[in-house]
Structure formats: structure tokens, C-alpha cells
Structure 1
Amino acid sequence: MSVFAGLVEQLADVLQPLFHASAAAAAIVLFTALVRLLVHPLSRASARGQRARARLQPQVAELRKKHGKNPEKLQKALLELHAEEKVSPLSGCLPGLFQLPAFFLLYHLFSNTTIGGEGNELLTHTLFTAPLGDRWADALGDGGPFGTQGLVYLGLFAIVAAVATFNYRRTKRTMAANPLPVGDGEQQVPGLGAINRFMPLMSFFTLFTVAFVPLAAALYVVTSTTWSAVERAALYPVPERSS
């Protein structure tokens, strides 16, 4: 973790002439962008994989009709189909998995008062007036929601809400353009309808993450979420609604 702390400090030193007291916050944003840039090839591969899986849907539907009463045969047939077409059903998970270590490193880095037995000087850095190691509860206790620290969090909440609304609308349009097939003797998975109604709202849960993690980790989440929204808009264009 001390190596990671040194990297953040070095980035902050480089950015200090431009951002002054908020240089460490700017370093976290830049670090997040670098992580997402490194993961971008996986995101592009995931998009290609999703298009390939969409192309296989007619064959998958046929296999479900054929082996619907035999889950073992169905699973084996699906794995063989994906292997034959060189499509990984797990490719969509890789970009998110590769980002988790960076988030947890930031979380622990700004949650500990010491690093390598010495005081954690990163906790003295701020975003405007809000310490990077504090949480929203600390801001509420120091001036309330409209105090100088509270306004920093309100700005982050506004960004997250805007991104979540953008994602919500895109998800709704995507689901409207690709409705799940109903009927033709196919049995819908129990609870799937409720999950599909709930799924567009998931982006709004980022608001809770930003509220409860240290500000440094919240900056990572806000930056990464915004990057994801732009990236998905570019890699996953919303299709025209099927008639």
C-alpha cells in the first residue's frame, strides 16, 4: 500500500501547480482515468462478446426448447455452443473485476491513519475544503449539507444523479428495443420480470456508495461511473425498437 500511496503523492506533486490544495483529489481522478484507460481494451472485448452472444440468441432459444427439461444437457449444449463460436459468457465481468483492486486500495489507503508505521499524510489533503479521508457524515457534522464541505458532496451527488439518470434512460430504451420473448411455450425464469423492472434503477445506488465511503474512494467511484456511462454509450449504441 505504501507503493500505491507514493504513486498518489507523486501524481499530486505533478498536479500541485494547477490544483494547489486539491492536487491529491485531482491525482485520484487522473489515476482513475488511467485505470479505466488500461481496462478499456477489455471493455471493447466485452462489447464484441455481447454482440456475439446476441447473435447466438436464436440458437440458444432452440437449445432451450430442445433441452428445457434437462438442465444438465442444456448447460453442456450451451457451453459447447459458446466454445464452438469462441464466445466467453464471462467476458462481460472482466472489466469490473480488474477495477475492484484499485477501488479497495483507495478505500483502505484513506481509511488508515498510518502507512508503514508513519502518519498518513494523504489524509491532510482536501477537495476544496473537504478532507479526502472524511465521509459525508463528517461534512454534515461540520456545517451541515450546505456548509463548505457539504457543498462538495452535493456537487458529487449531482454528478452521480445526472449519470444515473442518463444510464436509466438508456437502459429503459435498450430493454424496450429488445423485449424478452414471452409465449411460444417458453417458461420465463421466476422473478425475472421483477429483476428487469429493478435493473434500470441500479445506477442510483451509487449515491449510497458516495455517501458512505471516504471522499477519496467516492472520487474514484464518481469518475469511474462517469467514464462507464460515456464508454457504454460509445460501445453499446441503443438499437432501434423492434416492431
Structure 2
Amino acid sequence: MDLFALPPLALLLDLTTQGLLALTDALTPLAGGLAAALAVVAVTLVVRLILIPVGISQARAEQTRARLAPRLRVLQERWRKNPERLQRETMQLYRDENTSPAAGCLPLLAQAPIVGILYAVFLHPTVGGHANTLLTHDLLGVPLGRSLIGALTSGTMDAMTLAVFAGIVVVIAGVAELTRRLLRPATDPSGPAWMTGMVGVLQFTTAVVALFVPLAAALYLTVTTVWTLGQRLLLRRRYPLPA
């Protein structure tokens, strides 16, 4: 079932699509054929600005996890043979510090409706009973509604489609590698050992996702990835992790 078929969500989807089209029309005299792609980039930047408080909350939570990590390791060593006691002591530590293992998660979930509606615009070929004309606009000749995998399976692959998506994947993967090198994640030692390695791998999953989604969504992912790295670097200075 498509949730965006429900009247309230369908209306929100239609309004968001019309807003992006209006912005495209406004940018057309200045940007010409690049207007729709620039509209996607501009809206993405606005969304990231709105979500700055979420980033701050996550940075604080990451700092707290890193600060508590040595004490969590002590608890794990002391109570490793008593999982129930370990759980109680761990939760008590979080309560004493006026925080929780889920700190930073709720603000992250709060952004889901905003991000979700944008992705819905990029993924729905029809909106409000009519064609989503935003996706018929293009970037360097590649329709915003085309995905790399879709082009491969439908036989519409061409050199420009390959080049545009290759550029997007290179940027996203490059930012992921910089993130891995420059931003050491704060891990919870009470969690499973494989989690640390999984965090590093997940950095690169966005590049894979970009191959399957329409170009408009891939642009959103690219801008978001670059913004997130810059924001996290700035916030790491404000909320540094313990050495």
C-alpha cells in the first residue's frame, strides 16, 4: 500500500511537488536547463539548514557516548558473566549521567517526515493523478526520474547517464572515505564487537543506494552527504571526543 495515496499525504506530496516546480520556473531564466537540478539542490540545502539542531543533538550524544566508553568497558569486564547485572548497571550509569543509549536517535527520527516527503516526490512518477513533470527535467541530458539500474534494465543506458551517476558515486564514496578517516565514531563497548566494523561499512552504502534511486534523489543524497561531513567536522570542534 502506498501511504501517499492517503488524502492528507497525497495533498502534502502534491504541494511539495508544485513547490519544487515553482522554484524550477523561478530559476529557469538564470539556470536554463539546469533549473530543476538546482531546485533540488536548493531545497536540499534548506532542509539541511532546518535540521541543524538534529546534527547538534547527535554531536552531543556522540560526545557523551565517547566520554562514557571507559566506564562502560569497566562494567562489561566486571559483569560479563552476568548479563542481567550488566544491563542494570549500564542503564544506571546512563541514568546517573542524565542520558540514555538512545540519545540522539529521537532527533534523528524527527527528520524522517521531512526527508520522506522529498524522497516521495522523487520516487513517484505520478502525483495528484497527473505526471510528475519535475522528473521529466534533466541534468546534462539525463532525466531526473532516471536511475542507473533502471537505465540498465530498460536498455536506455547511454554515456551521459553513466558519466553523471559515476560522478555522483565517486563524490559520495569519496566523502564516505573522508568521514571514515576524519571522524572516528564513538562506539558503545557494551555492544557487539561487529558493530564497529559495520559502522565503517555503512558509510559507503549511500553510494550503492544512489545507483538504484532516480537522479533527483541521488542529487539529494550527494548534497546531504557533503553537507553532513562539513557539519560534523565543525561540530566535532565544538563537541570534541575524548583523546
Whether 1:21 aligns to 2:2 is no
Aligned-residue CA RMSD in angstroms? 3.0
TM superposition shift of 1:199: 3.4
Q: Which residue of 2 aligns with 1:57?
A: 69
Shift of 1:155: 1.9
Work out whether 1:199 is the aligned partner of 2:199. yes
1:72 is aligned to 84
Kindly provide the CA deviation profile for residues 135-187 of structure 1, in whole angstroms up to 9, marking residues without a partner as x: 1135554453xx2333221221221122122123225xx37xx8998xxxxxx
Q: Do the aligned partners of 1:46 and 1:92 also contact (CA within 8 Å) in 2?
A: yes
- The amino acid of 2:231's aligned partner reads E
| Deviation of the 1:75 alpha carbon | 2.1
Query: Aligned equivalents of 2:62 and 2:178: distance in 1?
Result: 21
Is residue 10 of structure 1 aligned with residue 28 of structure 2? no
Q: Does 1:36 find its partner at 2:48?
A: yes
Stretch deviating more after TM superposition (51-60 or 160-169)? 51-60
User: Per the alignment, do residues 84 and 211 of structure 1 end up closer, same or farther by CA in structure 2, a change over 3 Å counting?
Assistant: same
Q: Which amino acid aligns with 2:204?
A: F
Over 3 Å counting, the alpha-carbon distance change for 1:56 and 1:240 in structure 2 is: closer
CA distance in structure 2 between the partners assigned to 1:198 and 1:53 by the alignment: 17
How far apart in 1 are the matches of 2:48 and 2:188? 32
Give the corresponding residue for 1:97. Answer: 109
Q: Structure 1: which 4+ aligned runs deviate by more than 6 Å?
A: 178-181, 238-242
Query: Conserved in 1, the CA contact under 8 Å of 2:66 and 2:241?
Result: no
- Aligned pair count reads 228
- Equivalent in 144, 167, 182 of residue 170 of structure 1: 182
CA deviation after TM superposition for structure 1 residue 198, in Å: 4.7
Post-superposition Cα deviations, 1:34-62, rounded to whole Å, max 9, x if no partner, equal: 22211111211221222223222333233
Q: Distance in 2 between matches of 1:63 and 1:11?
A: 55
Q: 1:159 to 1:143 in 2, by over 3 A?
A: same
Residues 52-89 of structure 1, C-alpha deviations (whole Å, 9 max, x = no match): 23222333233334433332332233223222222232
| Seq. identity, % | 36
Contact kept, 8 Å, 2:17 with 2:121, in 1: the verdict is: yes
Instruction: Indicate if the aligned counterparts of 2:14 and 2:128 stay in contact, CA closer than 8 A.
Output: yes
- TM-score, scaled relative to structure 2: 0.79
Residue 87 (str. 1) matches residue 109 (str. 2): no
Give unmatched runs, 5+ long, in structure 1. 182-187
Code of the aligned partner of 2:142 = A
1:107–1:214 contact (8 Å) kept in structure 2:
no
Moved more, 48-57 or 91-100: 91-100
Give the secondary structure class of the aligned counterpart of 2:99: coil
2:3 corresponds to which residue?
none
Cα gap change, 1:96/1:23 in structure 2, threshold over 3 Å: closer, same or farther?
farther
Which deviates more from structure 2 when the two are superposed, residues 121-130 or residues 85-94? 85-94
